[in-house]
Chain A
Amino acid sequence: MKTRRGRIMPGFGLSMGVTLSYLTLIVLIPIAALLWKAGDAGWPALWEGISSPRAVGTYRLTIGTALAATAFNAVGGFLLAWVLARYQFPGRRLLDAVVDLPFALPTAVAGIALSAIFAPTGWAGALLEPAGLKVAYAPAGIAVAMAFTSIPFVIRSLQPVLEDLESEVEEAAFTLGASGAAVFARVVFPAVLPAFLSGCALAFSRALGEYGAIIFIAGNIPGETEVTTLLTYIRLEEFDYPGAAGLAVAMLAMSFVTLFVVNALQLWRLRREGRR
């Protein structure tokens, strides 16, 4: 039956041919060129690019701020997804549309807007700076920019799973005398955990690679507020191609790791759903 179905639908050769040639031309060859150029530079030059103190400083800052942003998004994203999936209230539809704003708003626009908000004279900056909280031109600003651009990943991964949860198990737990908090912690949360984690992993990955939103608010001081994407860009402008190649390969490796984690989480979820 399966093979017959494969034969009955036409257009396999054409659609597959178009797909594979396009992917090769637009995606695979450029990535191969990156790896080729990195190999061409030779391991010592590449390693110098990857492991220079300035590069390591950017990894520390980028990973640290991305973790902070993801922690914020884990809480804020869970809250927004929960409210959207569980409750009916006036403005729910508007909220549902608006949480995708970071996907629709170009990163450069987000970057200058956030930088204006958190500048010492801005709406938030004027309140925070006298209290000793420096956001713009500080690592906190980088985390804010990352959090803004990546929060929809958490919301959109969680929301459908929360909506699909069947109420019987929760009802049964209540009937058996469990408290609301216990039902959440021991019934709801474990059920949505894989989707929640894969949303967080996607958001973290997006935060690591973010550039446009960050450069306007970061201040971009080497060793203090310089992220990896920015240093890569600077290396290109200095025509230090081995240096740029090293950083790009390091970021590509991080992308592959997150991709692997997300795929593993999805498999976990599928297996769980299959068992249910």
Chain B
Amino acid sequence: MSRARVTRNRAGDSAVVRIALIGTALVLAVLLFGAPLAMVFSRAFALGARVYAEKIGDPFTLHAIWLTVLTSLVVLPINTGFGLAAAWAITRHDFPGKRLLTTLIELPVSISPIVAGVAYLFLYGALGLFGPLLGELGWRIMFTVPAIFLVSLFVTSPYVARELITVMQSQGSDEDQAAISLGAGGFATFMRVTLPNIRWALFHGVVLCNARVMGEFGAVSVVSGKIRGVTETLPLHIEVLFNDYNATGAFAAASILALLALVTLVLKTISEWRLSRDG
């Protein structure tokens, strides 16, 4: 009697409830997360590995892969720099309007990618705010590769920043202050004290940012013009193949991004594990 009391001292601790809930959760997870992944790979390989290799080797698919990788190579360093600057300003200094600034940094997360695309079109398009000026200079941004970079910068700008802000806030600035008061310069302190402390949070943020950059669809689809072999990123290419009734090609291209998602989850788990272990 008293033993039963001891083991069942929190809500949902009874064996029946526990097993039922865990079982339902696992079934839900398999249906919700397992099925889409399995579908991507089973359809990609439906006609065999040779057809799969052919579909991946298609010049337009290869170009789309390259453009997606290039976009990530351009966007990640810039948004990492922004994230570091924003986190340093917000967590290491006091100033009025801090809450407002944090909200502004997070703003792109709540804005639909389509709205982001429309905003960039209204800024750089021929009839946009900067359009006439760019036209006089003979420059075009809309429906070119730089437009893809710009809108990707917008959509993914919060990812590294908010990760670093959370971690640097909870770590506090004691170690940085100690280094400064012992006479280290600002840059040396940042490189040798701050950065080692936040490296796993930084890695975590960069991994998430990369997944979002490589997968962005709505915003890129507005500003890219979807020119085959020129401004078609991998997600856009999947749409084109799918609408062309080339389902195997679409799923083959999708399998690369699904693989990217799996790698992302692994790296994310590793960095979260390191974060909880050594901060």
Residues of A in contact with B (beta carbons under 8 Å apart) = 2-3, 5-6, 8-12, 14-16, 18-19, 22-23, 26-34, 36-37, 76, 79-80, 82-83, 86-87, 89, 91, 93, 95-110, 112-114, 116-117, 122-124, 147-148, 151, 167, 170-171, 174, 180, 183-184, 187-188, 205, 208-212, 215-216, 229, 232-233, 236, 241, 244-245, 248, 251-252, 255-256, 258-259, 263
What DSSP secondary structure best describes chain B's contact surface? helix
Give chain A residues whose Cβ lies under 8 Å from the Cβ of B154.
26-27, 30
Contact B265 A101 (CB under 8 A): yes
Q: How far is the CB of A92 from chain B (nearest CB, A)?
A: 9
Give chain A residues whose Cβ lies under 8 Å from the Cβ of B205.
none
Q: Which residue of B lies closest to A147 (CB)?
A: B32
Q: Which residue of A lies closest to B40 (CB)?
A: A113
Give chain A residues whose Cβ lies under 8 Å from the Cβ of B25.
79-80, 82-83, 95
Contact B251 A34 (CB under 8 A): no
Complex CA distance for A12 and B176, rounded to whole angstroms: 14
Q: Does B112 contact A (CB under 8 A)?
A: yes
* Interface size, chain B (Cβ < 8 Å): 104
Contact B12 A14 (CB under 8 A): no
**Chain B positions 99-116 with a Cβ under 8 Å from a chain A Cβ:** 101, 103-105, 107-108, 110-116
Contact B94 A2 (CB under 8 A): yes
Q: Does B60 contact A (CB under 8 A)?
A: no
Give chain A residues whose Cβ lies under 8 Å from the Cβ of B279.
none
Give chain A residues whose Cβ lies under 8 Å from the Cβ of B3.
none
Give chain A residues whose Cβ lies under 8 Å from the Cβ of B33.
98-99, 101-102
**Chain B positions 5-24 with a Cβ under 8 Å from a chain A Cβ:** 5, 8-14, 17-18, 21-22, 24
Q: A9-B92, A82-B21 are in contact. List 13 more A-B contacts (CB 8 A).
A: A10-B185, A14-B85, A16-B89, A27-B108, A33-B119, A37-B128, A87-B21, A97-B265, A103-B208, A116-B251, A212-B217, A255-B112, A256-B110
Contact B215 A33 (CB under 8 A): no
**Chain B positions 46-98 with a Cβ under 8 Å from a chain A Cβ:** 81-82, 84-86, 88-90, 92-95
Among candidates B10, B92, B127, B153, residue contacting A26 with C-beta atoms closer than 8 Å: B153
Contact A170 B10 (CB under 8 A): yes
| Interchain Cβ contacts under 8 Å between A and B, 5 examples | A5-B173, A30-B120, A33-B128, A97-B265, A106-B216
Q: Does B269 contact A (CB under 8 A)?
A: yes
